[in-house]
Amino acid sequence: MALLVSIFFGFIPMFLYAAFIYWIDRYEKEPKALLGAAFMWGVVIAAGGAFIINTVFGIGIYVVTGSEALTNLGTASIVAPIVEEILKGLAVAVVFFMFRKEFDTVLDGIIYGGIAGLGFAATENTIYIYRGYLEGGWEGLIALVVIRVILVGWMHAFFTAFTGIGFAITRVNKNLLVKIMAPFIGLSIAIFTHAFHNTIGNFFEGLGGLGVVIFFDGIGYTLMLGFIIWMIAHERNIVKRQLVEEVNSGLISQAQYQRALSPWTLTTAGFSGKVTSRFYHALGELAHKKEQLHRHGEEGGNSAIVTSLRQELANLAPQAK
């Protein structure tokens, strides 16, 4: 029973957090299959690989130092941040290299990085929560649920979002040096923030230490949230700029254009039926695809995709509300 409860609290909250990340993508949704793959990468490959590699390095540090304290510090502050952020970041790298056209803005990088981080957290949280039961019974399990799910539940998504930002900057920037360095800088920031979090947790014990960790995490989460809001506004500007042509050509009405600019439309359009929902999703895709065409040229078919989306919208527009 305790194992099932641990799995439930390890995974279900992370699914809900992932749904929230999907929700904040206000203007051009990422493919659910790709997001699901990133989540499962975190669950299986990143978490499984990190468990093995961290354990091996931990044993090695103990053999060399003979100190349990140094082993815990070295593993938590050096080994785990490097290993885990590289393995989680590989999910973002796979999406970037194999599905590059899905990287439209920096917000997309945050989304893929955050989703991979939540998948990793689901597995790690399950292990910690069950360990809490083994060491302290149901009280220990509940305590770990509160800590791992509620108080620091966003940490892995936060860390890996920086790797996603790095890859996204490479995608949208034309400067060769920036394109080369951005993913490594993003990964380095992910490793640093992860190491800082773990080190603070090791130096300060008990509730006071947890309070210090939550304080610094809260600052980081707040800054990231502010950046996300700014990026949502940036995506709105893309839609606003790129769909003017569609209004002028008569493809969509002024009312449809105004509704497409609302950050709530992709959430509420479904209440008006599948046609309306698809219409506004397609409008977001068209705006971002036109932006890609403007920034990156054809890339093997951007013009054809724009034409196809316009044809689809022409069929949907008369029925869309």
Answer whether residue 190 is part of any domain.
Answer: yes
Shortest CA distance to 101 belongs to which of 304, 250, 317, 246?
Answer: 304
Number of domains in the chain: 2
From the number of C-beta atoms within 10 Å of its C-beta (0-12, 13-18, 19+), residue 53 rates as middle
Instruction: Kindly report the backbone phi and psi dihedral angles of residue 67, in degrees, each rounded to the nearest multiple of 5, phi listed first.
Output: -115, 125
Last residue of a domain, one of 206, 233, 260: 233
In this prediction, residue 297 carries a pLDDT of 86
C-alpha 190/C-alpha 71 separation (Å) is 22
Residues 276, 320 contacting (CB under 8 angstroms): yes
Answer whether residue 267 is part of any domain.
Answer: yes
Last residue of a domain, one of 186, 212, 233: 233
Shortest CA distance to 160 belongs to which of 21, 16, 7?
Answer: 21
Residues 19, 39 contacting (CB under 8 angstroms): no
Same domain, 39 and 82: yes
Same domain, 186 and 213: yes
Query: How many residues does the structure list for the chain?
Result: 321
Same domain, 261 and 207: no
In this prediction, residue 104 carries a pLDDT of 83
C-alpha 319/C-alpha 269 separation (Å) is 13
Same domain, 88 and 203: yes
Answer whether residue 65 is part of any domain.
Answer: yes
Answer whether residue 23 is part of any domain.
Answer: yes
Structure tokens at 173: 């920037």
Structure tokens at 21: 């990340």
**Would you give per-residue pLDDT tens digits along the chain (321 residues)?**
999 999 999 999 999 999 999 999 989 899 999 999 999 999 999 999 999 999 999 999 999 998 988 999 899 999 999 999 999 999 999 999 999 888 889 999 999 999 999 999 999 999 999 999 999 999 999 999 999 999 999 999 999 999 999 999 999 888 999 999 999 999 999 999 999 999 987 777 767 778 889 999 999 999 999 999 999 999 999 999 999 999 999 999 999 999 999 999 988 988 889 999 999 999 999 999 999 888 888 877 889 999 999 999 999 999 988
Same domain, 37 and 143: yes
Residues 202, 72 contacting (CB under 8 angstroms): yes
Exposure string (b/e) for 250-259, b if CB count within 10 Å is 16 or more? ebbeeebbeb
Q: Specify the residue for token string 């997309």.
A: 108
C-alpha 111/C-alpha 24 separation (Å) is 9
Same domain, 94 and 215: yes
Answer whether residue 321 is part of any domain.
Answer: no
Structure tokens at 70: 């140094």
DSSP state of 128: H
In this prediction, residue 152 carries a pLDDT of 93
Same domain, 72 and 218: yes
Same domain, 32 and 69: yes
Q: Is 98 left (phi over 0), alpha (psi -120 to 50) or beta?
A: alpha
Shortest CA distance to 121 belongs to which of 74, 82, 90, 159?
Answer: 159
Q: Give the residue numbers spanning the domain of 52.
A: 2-233
Answer whether residue 238 is part of any domain.
Answer: no
* pTM tops 0.85, yes or no: yes
Same domain, 215 and 81: yes
Same domain, 134 and 78: yes
Answer whether residue 308 is part of any domain.
Answer: yes
Residues 46, 86 contacting (CB under 8 angstroms): no
C-alpha 316/C-alpha 300 separation (Å) is 26
Last residue of a domain, one of 191, 214, 233: 233
Answer whether residue 186 is part of any domain.
Answer: yes
Same domain, 162 and 92: yes
In this prediction, residue 154 carries a pLDDT of 96
Q: H helices of the chain, where?
A: 2-24, 32-40, 47-65, 68-74, 80-98, 106-145, 155-172, 176-203, 206-242, 244-248, 254-261, 265-268, 274-296, 302-316
C-alpha 285/C-alpha 165 separation (Å) is 20
Same domain, 292 and 191: no
Structure tokens at 285: 């895709």
In this prediction, residue 203 carries a pLDDT of 78
